[in-house]
Amino acid sequence: MTTSSSHSPLMPHPAPGHPGRAAPPRLPHDLRGRWIALLFVACFALVAVPILTHPLPPLSDYVNHLARMHVIAELPHDPDIARFYFLKWSILPNVMVDLIVPVIDRVTDIYTAGEIYTLLCFALIAGGTLTLNRALFGMWSALPLVAFPLLYNAIFLIGVMNYYFGIGLALFALAAWAFLRDRPWPWRFMVSAVFVVALFFCHLFAAGVYGVGLLAFELDRLRQGRGRPLGRRLATFVAAGLPFLPIVPLLIASPTWGLSSENIWEPQGKVEGLEMVVNVYFDYVAILLTAVVVGAGIWAARHRLLHVHSLMLPLLLVAGAVYLAMPRVVFASYMADQRLPVAIAFFVLAAMRADLRHRLARRGFAVVLILLLAVRVGEVQVVWDRLSQWTVAFRQSVEQIKPGSRILVAYADINGGNDPRDLGLVHAACLAMIEKSSLVTTAFAVKGKQILRVHEPYRSHVDTEDGTPPQIEQLLVTEEEPSADGPRYWDLWPQNFDYVYVLFTERGAPNPDSDRLKLVFEGERFQLYKVVPPSAPPS
């Protein structure tokens, strides 16, 4: 394994037979540019299969985001949607999907718009990894294409679509900084500031990912510049943070600033966050992919075919320190720390390249890459095909709901949603917002996080804290009187809702409240009940 830096020029050697004439430096061997491009297209086509064959993928937050996009697009034209919801646009570090998907929805349906956006996220991350590698090494390399099997990961299953878009943008941002590093500073700072603002509107954590990469890059430059005056090097190092200054007024002007005190640090889960980089559904698939990649890397390093950029060490040190220090909840956003390793994995891939000197190595790399990606895509496709049974059933249940209804979501199992296979059910009730213009209690309408708001008098009947839905037991005790420990949005629910979705129940489970609930539809792991309203008081 060799360590290289794009900042150190290759020393020319005299050409044989021509004393004094410098021969061109010997460039590392790799796939030709057109073959890298062809392999990129083939990998992208393969990774797109689960998305294109599942218009409603079983991702946790995905359908909730999609429902909000539908509200944005239909609000002026749908009286039921307008009765329940309105938009409050403000400076929010979480609105990229709100800006892009409704525009796509103008020329297609909302489900196709969501597919296009998801594939755009994939293209940005894979393309950003490839471009950053080009900026660091000065030539195109095939190794960053290993990013494709990592596009499906445990963080993606959560459905954090704004953050996922931001990962790709952060990779391009650091690539632009590397390309412009030795150009006049105004261009570099201006381009970086534009990226920072765009990343802010993707997700605050995405801007942080770029900050980690840029800090590592400038630490590497600081080390590479030994021999030059220290004061000048330190001034350049500190000045690299200037493009991040716009975040300060943006954040202070944002309602998100009101959530700045909602931070929780947890020591547990740090190892799990690392596993999320390769884990999706089956542990043995993650172990297989990891073993193949690590084994190939060790073999290449032993044969001095693996080149690691000098950025790698500061990147791992900075990212590791930030990861250990990060709280689990930041600005009321959960899994803040566990999102970081997935993003850093793509930066790590960008900081490596392989010398594919032999034809067998080049062909072998392409074959192994396609096989690894096929295994990962096959894993996702098999599980999603199985989970599509609940998707079909849930859409059938939504057909039983009257338009403009009020829907309460409750859990039969407080641990529901912890299994990756259950993630698609967590926010599935939001389908009723798209198909039936309904009010759904779990729709994302949190001040400081989303632009969606709920009109009075319905605002007190929905979750505005992004919390866990009530359990059935909690509904039973608040059927006729409010909660004893303070008002809850499900208090006196028979008066305020038309339907109740009970999630994470078993098929054939008994009706929890036969006086107030009438079973309308039963699917795998969920039940839909129509609320029997209290009798009108005698006149």
> Got the DSSP string for 343-407?
HHHHHHHHTEEE---SHHHHHHHHHHHHHHHHHHHHHHHHHHHHHHHHHHHHHHHHTTSPTT-EE
Alpha carbon 107 to chain centroid, angstroms:
25
Residue found by looking up tokens 């090097």 in the block: 233
pLDDT at 150: 96
pLDDT at 481: 87
- Provide the H-helix boundaries in 203-282: 204-224, 230-239, 247-253, 270-275
Percent helix, strand, coil in the chain (nearest 5)?
Answer: 55, 10, 35
Q: Quickly state the pLDDT bin for 420 (edges 50, 70, 90).
A: confident
Q: What distance in Å separates the CA atoms of residue 454 and residue 531, rounded to the nearest whole number?
A: 22
Share of the chain above pLDDT 90, in %: 73
Q: Quickly state the pLDDT bin for 340 (edges 50, 70, 90).
A: very high
Share of the chain above pLDDT 70, in %: 94
pLDDT at 303: 83
pLDDT at 317 over 80: yes
pLDDT at 8: 36
Whether residue 224 contacts residue 7, with contact meaning beta carbons closer than 8 Å, is answered with yes
Residue type, 9: P
Q: Quickly state the pLDDT bin for 25 (edges 50, 70, 90).
A: very low
Q: Quickly state the pLDDT bin for 534 (edges 50, 70, 90).
A: confident
pLDDT at 18 over 80: no
pLDDT at 24 over 50: no
Q: Quickly state the pLDDT bin for 63 (edges 50, 70, 90).
A: very high
pLDDT at 442: 95
pLDDT at 209 over 60: yes
pLDDT at 20: 45
pLDDT at 26: 47
Q: How many CA atoms lie within 13 A of 318 on its CB side?
A: 21
Show the CA angle centred on residue 260, arms to residues 258 and 261, nearest 5°.
Answer: 105
Residue 224 is given by DSSP the state H
Instruction: Pick the range with the lowest mean pLDDT from 11-20, 64-73, 139-148, 318-327.
Output: 11-20
Which residue would you say has higher pLDDT here, 117 or 465? 117
Q: What is the pTM of this model?
A: 0.91
pLDDT at 352: 95
pLDDT at 19: 47
Residue 500, helix vs strand vs coil? strand
Q: What is the pLDDT of residues 85-136, one digit of tens each?
A: 999 999 999 899 999 999 999 999 999 999 999 999 999 999 999 999 999 9
Q: What is the pLDDT of residues 471-524, one digit of tens each?
A: 999 999 999 888 888 899 999 999 999 999 999 998 889 999 999 999 999 998
Q: Quickly state the pLDDT bin for 533 (edges 50, 70, 90).
A: confident
Mean pLDDT across 315-325: 96
Contacts of residue 268, defined as CB under 8 A and 6 or more positions apart, other chains included, come to none
Q: Quickly state the pLDDT bin for 156 (edges 50, 70, 90).
A: very high
Which residue would you say has higher pLDDT here, 534 or 476? 476
Parallel, antiparallel, or unpaired for β 85-87 and 452-454? antiparallel
pLDDT at 249: 95
Q: Quickly state the pLDDT bin for 390 (edges 50, 70, 90).
A: confident
pLDDT at 538 over 60: no
Residue 340 token pair: 């970081």
pLDDT at 447 over 80: yes
Instruction: Pick the range with the lowest mean pLDDT from 18-22, 74-78, 171-175, 199-203.
Output: 18-22
pLDDT at 4: 64
Contacts of residue 382, defined as CB under 8 A and 6 or more positions apart, other chains included, come to none
pLDDT at 6 over 90: no
On average, the pLDDT of the chain sits at 90
Q: What is the pLDDT of residues 251-263, one digit of tens each?
A: 999 999 988 888 8
Q: What distance in Å separates the CA atoms of residue 108 and residue 93, rounded to the nearest whole number?
A: 27
Whether residue 140 contacts residue 36, with contact meaning beta carbons closer than 8 Å, is answered with yes
Which residue would you say has higher pLDDT here, 193 or 422? 193
14 membership: H or E segment, kind and range? strand 13-15
Contacts of residue 279, defined as CB under 8 A and 6 or more positions apart, other chains included, come to 153, 154, 286
pLDDT at 276 over 60: yes
